[in-house]
Amino acid sequence: MSADEPEQPGSQPPDASTTEPVRGPDLVRAALTQARARARAKGLAPGVTPKRRLRAVEGRSGSGADARDPVLFGAAIRRLVAERGWEETTTAAGVLANWDRLVGPEIADHSRPESLVDGALVLVAESTAWATQLRLLTRTIQARLREQVGEGVVTSIVVRGPAQPDWRKGAFRVQGPGARGPRDTYG
């Protein structure tokens, strides 16, 4: 309202000193003014809904960066591995899975990694001749692995020759002349 406009009789908010009952738009204005006063007394700002107030209290952000934001798959896996302490296990699995790339095709064609536990890499050669050759190359293989996967991942290399089928079952075995062999039941 400007100063040069004449005042209209119903345009001002109702006064507490008036004894006339308030009606229509003035009643709505009075109720709204009363509600705003109660909200200010409670410390609430106008326009803040209870849900928004709850977010602010819990420390959640709206448009800012948040732990719930989408991330790249690789970053999520790296974070999971770090949180669970699986770095050593994933490094060992990487050595076993990428064996041909780490040592080259010639060595990989004639050997396979069997296990990598506590830094001890167990290799199985395809023949006794290759087992001997791999034993001679252990320092070279170990140096190559140290360069590519890091220090301390592979601390020793155990080379085994080709294995024959093992008929024995279980951890406990009977030793001696009375021990039963695989062909005892064939008649």
Residues 34-84: pLDDT tens digits? 888 888 887 776 566 655 555 555 555 667 777 778 889 999 999 999 999
The whole-number pLDDT of residue 185 equals 57
- Residue 170 reports pLDDT greater than 90: no
| Positive or negative torsion for Cα 115, 117, 121, 127 | negative
pLDDT of the residue at 1 = 47
Give the model's pLDDT for residue 187: 47
Q: pTM for this one? A: 0.50
Q: What percent of the chain has pLDDT over 90?
A: 30
Q: Is the pLDDT of residue 12 over 60?
A: no
**DSSP H or E run through 123:** strand 120-125
Q: What is the pLDDT of residues 131-146, one digit of tens each?
A: 999 999 999 999 999 9
Within a 13 Å sphere around the CA of 34, how many CA atoms are in the beta-carbon half?
9
Gap between the Cα atoms of 130 and 107, Å rounded: 9
Q: Mind listing the domains of the chain with CATH numbers?
A: 24-58 (no CATH), 87-160 (3.30.300.180)
Task: Please state at what angle helix 73-84 crosses helix 87-97, rounded to 10 degrees.
Answer: 120
Q: Do residues 30 and 13 touch, judged by C-beta distance below 8 A?
A: yes
